[in-house]
Structure 1
């Protein structure tokens, strides 16, 4: 029996497996691909590792460092292993069933760290109708074609969504000589980090805010897309136009990949789409921990790796004590202009990093936790940028009941 089975070989899973091994646990890392790193190997742009490694790296460089550490520690890794199910036989025994080219296997473990990442929204999920033609890709699919296989998906591009992945793909297409004709954003503000929004200005790419693509037309391949303006309530105004293109890229956000967790009875937070967790990143099923984009959609891979380490520390405590011994959990609740947050329950036994996103952009604000008297001033908050705030053990201890996090104007 293993102490911990890590499901997912992206940055969260690798960081979790490394930390668990360093803590003396018997670890197995499972990943469905024949290479480790998740999406990092196809992210050839810089901007990774600034917090985690204290230097700027590309995605492949970030993944390589974690892979080398796995080798140094001799962590057992099984690739081409697709997990089919998780069985929770008891708090101290779980069974993970996976299939690989060698067959179907069951492995017994005391704990699980679930780091299976997220999936992309596709065209039908965001209401795009029309002809079923070639030339429609998610941003991740296009990135894989270009950066893993060296294939250009098209020459005249329209991108739906101004999140970081969509903006990075706009630059990637422009650098390869394609014409990015527009980035279409439903909201009245861009969805990406400031440094990525600058890409549009650098490459003179039009950005249409408060617009959406509603229809695709073509014979065999995309020929044009219909764009409609929306009002402040995101309702169509009737103002519309067509853009000719041969490729439509969908970058409409990510959804935590939690199907297996739902099947085993893990409670899901509708706001994050990921599990409800305590400050050890343990889910509602004892001994199952979660990290990375399977927990909450992060904007920085550094936070993903950090969460992997936190989950490993939780697994270590669970194995040593045959469970998490906290007797009193303090609920962390969403208040004004807080769209989502994690973790959801605090013990008051340790310092905790809170990961949160706001609902709308604001300037000159205070992040407040009224019940414990904590207040942090910030010049600006944006839905695209994760708020990462530390609550000290002594601060949490002041709470008599639940703690509310809110973002309010100064």
Structure 2
């Protein structure tokens, strides 16, 4: 048996892709390494999901349930506890996926693959924290799983590294459970999370140290204290600025990295700034017939965008199968201009409207977002690295371009 598409990853991107592909008439197989579908959503018990996609506010489990219900109603074949070991690309319409399961190692074949394997968390050693190897050091995801899936409290006195959305949400979660959040430490001179989540710190009177970093952990069997130092505008440690904070738990929320190891292994080209694969407007990688969506493509701040990308990848798979490949197009390259750090997709055609996903390098107020080659301009009151920009380029606008379109984010005129 050969499937039309094999979807790797059962989080929101994979679930949305599976539902969309099935509704498009494709024969679908969904593989997920966890014991239940949903990715990280089942442990995200806070609200704030679904406002764009479902037009109502949901918790993470509620968002996942909407898709899982459709997976079951549509009788979409799926495996859980299925850890993908290898992808082999034999030809454009012949791909093999090898995965382990409780029944043993299995091989399945597909015409296309939608890679929705998400991202992994940075750990303490990746961000330069040294010291004793003791209990009480967790990534944010590990702590969230302990608390919201297994009902285990990781600690009572907590220092959190990173003021991104997950770190801020975990600060609230610990505070609500009666723990003392001693501090949130942020390397940059500005908070990393959405404004609504930054408010959490004020609400719970949690200290936020901007332009600081944790450099050392000390303890015997468990964390007893961490050393914090101030950094300058070049993020270099300032001599003599160090101080210690006593705590029993250190939570690392230092960002995510797209999980693209298997794609790298088979030769997919990776964008060094996004961390994910280089893709066209249908989210096809540089390997024909292999598509990518969600945090494996780039780190999203809204799950709604992740689901949107999953559906787009399914549309790409459908077109690929119908035409035995994506038909030849005049691809136009999207280029980063001033104050643009992350940008996807990388190539667009002008045959359809396209959503551009982007992040800036630094905060800026009174902003002009321009695409000079097509004379398109938007005005925004503020942009932040923590907030994804999602901008629609219409087909007729794209068609005005030559070989490339540059995105610029600049200070607007007063």
TM-score range, shorter chain: over 0.9
Shift of residue 400 of structure 1?
1.3
Q: Are residues 1:232 and 2:237 paired? A: no
Q: Are residues 1:375 and 2:363 paired? A: no
* CA distance in 2: counterparts of 1:101 and 1:68, whole angstroms: 24
The alignment partner of 1:167 has SS state of helix
- Residue in 1 aligned with 2:122? 121
* CA distance in 2: counterparts of 1:55 and 1:157, whole angstroms: 33
- Residue in 2 aligned with 1:407? 409
- Residue in 2 aligned with 1:149? 150
1:273 aligns with one of 275, 290, 304: 275
* CA distance in 2: counterparts of 1:288 and 1:347, whole angstroms: 18
* CA distance in 1: counterparts of 2:354 and 2:318, whole angstroms: 17
Residues 326, 347 of structure 1: 8 Å contact kept: no
* CA distance in 2: counterparts of 1:213 and 1:34, whole angstroms: 34
* CA distance in 2: counterparts of 1:378 and 1:33, whole angstroms: 40
- Residue in 2 aligned with 1:51? 52
Q: Are residues 1:104 and 2:105 paired? A: yes
The alignment partner of 1:306 has SS state of helix
* CA distance in 1: counterparts of 2:31 and 2:381, whole angstroms: 42
- Residue in 1 aligned with 2:359? 357
Q: Are residues 1:185 and 2:182 paired? A: no
The alignment partner of 1:16 has SS state of helix
Residues 331, 403 of structure 2: 8 Å contact kept: no
* CA distance in 1: counterparts of 2:39 and 2:370, whole angstroms: 35
- Residue in 1 aligned with 2:224? 223
* CA distance in 2: counterparts of 1:326 and 1:256, whole angstroms: 29
- Residue in 2 aligned with 1:7? 8
* CA distance in 2: counterparts of 1:269 and 1:213, whole angstroms: 29
- Residue in 2 aligned with 1:171? 172
Shift of residue 240 of structure 1?
1.1
- Residue in 2 aligned with 1:28? 29
* CA distance in 1: counterparts of 2:33 and 2:328, whole angstroms: 34
* CA distance in 2: counterparts of 1:350 and 1:270, whole angstroms: 27
Residues 163, 191 of structure 2: 8 Å contact kept: yes
* CA distance in 1: counterparts of 2:343 and 2:118, whole angstroms: 17
Shift of residue 252 of structure 1?
0.1
Shift of residue 326 of structure 1?
3.1
- Residue in 1 aligned with 2:250? 248
Q: How many pairs were matched up? A: 410
Shift of residue 105 of structure 1?
1.1
The alignment partner of 1:323 has SS state of coil
The alignment partner of 1:276 has SS state of coil
Q: Are residues 1:137 and 2:126 paired? A: no
* CA distance in 2: counterparts of 1:252 and 1:308, whole angstroms: 25
* CA distance in 2: counterparts of 1:262 and 1:58, whole angstroms: 34
Shift of residue 3 of structure 1?
0.3
Residues 168, 201 of structure 2: 8 Å contact kept: yes
**Please, which runs of 5 or more residues in structure 2 have no aligned partner?**
none
- Residue in 2 aligned with 1:42? 43
Q: Are residues 1:287 and 2:285 paired? A: no
Shift of residue 327 of structure 1?
2.3
- Residue in 2 aligned with 1:261? 263
- Residue in 2 aligned with 1:307? 309
Q: TM-score, normalised by structure 2?
A: 0.99
Shift of residue 93 of structure 1?
0.6
The alignment partner of 1:187 has SS state of coil
Residues 20, 27 of structure 1: 8 Å contact kept: yes
* CA distance in 2: counterparts of 1:287 and 1:352, whole angstroms: 20
Q: TM-score, normalised by structure 1?
A: 1.00
Residues 140, 251 of structure 2: 8 Å contact kept: yes
Residues 335, 407 of structure 1: 8 Å contact kept: yes
* CA distance in 1: counterparts of 2:121 and 2:361, whole angstroms: 20
Residues 210, 230 of structure 1: 8 Å contact kept: yes
* CA distance in 1: counterparts of 2:330 and 2:95, whole angstroms: 25
Q: Are residues 1:16 and 2:17 paired? A: yes
* CA distance in 2: counterparts of 1:400 and 1:386, whole angstroms: 26
* CA distance in 2: counterparts of 1:70 and 1:320, whole angstroms: 23
* CA distance in 2: counterparts of 1:256 and 1:92, whole angstroms: 26
Residues 51, 304 of structure 2: 8 Å contact kept: yes
